[in-house]
Structure 1
């Protein structure tokens, strides 16, 4: 299946899965405009080099926790996409907790995980919603999906309540369960506008967050994600999906 993807915005695109999605998308679906966000320029050299070689990549330096600047970010995106709006928003930026035991968890760790992994993607989606609605409205005859308008919230299987058989990891698990809950609400709220919303588990991937023992490379994860993105339709909206298309328990 080949889907025409005009515009996409990926947060946390300077490393790991986010960076690999930028690389892979520019080689496969080849969007006309790809917005890639990063927070720290000193830790984003590879992304900057990639952008210098590919004119379709637009870099946006933002801190997803700086909620007051999201309106300005949306305005910058709007100027680039015009009447076509934004077709795909990938809320990928996140942090992981190194603390597993309840006896060691601290309030600030809980708050940091919730703010970056749940609050930030909700507010980013809020800021970009008018552009997603514009994209959907500009393609009234297109089937719902990334060729029209979609929101992908990168979650984790560790946010699944039904699949939690090990306990621990309170900050990370709770933050990912929270974005899962938000995704379901987005699905319900966006149905009239024909915008799809899914929660995505990218797999256990060898990144700074996933560690060296993870079974998947970023290339493998990104390839699966892109295949899934191409296949997205109304039947997928409001679901918690793994990178290979498998549906997971909430």
Structure 2
């Protein structure tokens, strides 16, 4: 099934996975009317600007995920565009990876990782809840789906406690494990509202964050995730999925 959302917002679109999402989504058979692409420094996001220049539905928005006042302003700007149509899909993709292990981990690294990878997705989800609810009311779709209203948190297999056999990466692992728990709680709380929520691991992707040894190209990862998102339903609420839709142990 193809993804058919009317409006969506993606954080962290200046490069890597977020940028590739924008590139591929505008090419869908049924692209969204509104595709809000956020990043910290739009003036430096040349590739994103190129996509937006060719696709009028792409709205680049300056946004720092740890800025509380910025979250409120972002919601207001999106609401001005979508009105009573609401927001169908929120993809929390912005993340930070501090490459520190036990010898050099510190409070600053831990706090920053949690703020970006865990706290920000939760507060964004909370802030956009009224617009997600509006999308539910406007949607003719039965059950739960991304086409109706959904929150997708891009997580990491490194946040899996059961899969952790190599240790290290304390800040990243812990913050992504916390994001997984938040995703599960959101799914429980929002299911009665008609809103789908879950966590997806993009795979180990060859990006600036993932590094050159990644097992996947960014094109393959995003293409697979978009296909998975198009097929999601209430049975997948609160799950932790691989980029290809396979379940990952918590």
Please say whether Structure 1 and Structure 2 have the same fold, judged by a TM-score greater than 0.5.
Answer: yes
- Structure 1 residues 35-85: Cα deviation after superposition (integer angstroms, max 9, x where no partner): 000101343111012111110101110111101221111011011112110
Whole-Å Cα distance in 2 between the matches of residues 71 and 104 of structure 1? 35
Distance 1:208 1:4, change over 3 A: same
SS of corresponding position for 1:31: coil
**Partner residue of 2:118?**
118
- Structure 1 residues 88-125: Cα deviation after superposition (integer angstroms, max 9, x where no partner): 0000000101112x121111011110000001111111
Whole-Å Cα distance in 1 between the matches of residues 73 and 207 of structure 2? 30
Whole-Å Cα distance in 1 between the matches of residues 2 and 24 of structure 2? 15
Q: Which moved more, 1:8-17 or 1:36-45?
A: 36-45
The question of 1:72 aligning with 2:76 is answered no
Whole-Å Cα distance in 1 between the matches of residues 141 and 112 of structure 2? 42
Distance 1:51 1:171, change over 3 A: same
SS of corresponding position for 1:191: helix
Q: Which moved more, 1:134-143 or 1:152-161?
A: 134-143
**Partner residue of 1:173?**
173
If the length of structure 1 is used for normalisation, what is the TM-score?
A: 0.97
SS of corresponding position for 2:113: helix
**Partner residue of 2:154?**
154
Whole-Å Cα distance in 2 between the matches of residues 98 and 2 of structure 1? 36
**Partner residue of 1:33?**
34
Whole-Å Cα distance in 1 between the matches of residues 37 and 96 of structure 2? 17
Question: How far does residue 151 in structure 1 lie from its aligned partner after superposition?
Answer: 0.3
Whole-Å Cα distance in 2 between the matches of residues 225 and 157 of structure 1? 15
Distance 1:82 1:211, change over 3 A: same
Question: Does the aligned pair in 1 maintain the 2:11–2:39 contact within 8 Å?
Answer: yes
* Aligned residues: CA RMSD: 1.1
Please list, as runs of the form range in 1=range in 2, the aligned pairs for 1:174-213 lying within 5 A after superposition.
174-213=174-213
Question: Does the aligned pair in 1 maintain the 2:2–2:227 contact within 8 Å?
Answer: no
Please, which runs of 5 or more residues in structure 1 have no aligned partner? Answer: none
Whole-Å Cα distance in 2 between the matches of residues 39 and 24 of structure 1? 21
**Partner residue of 1:82?**
83
Question: How far does residue 141 in structure 1 lie from its aligned partner after superposition?
Answer: 4.4
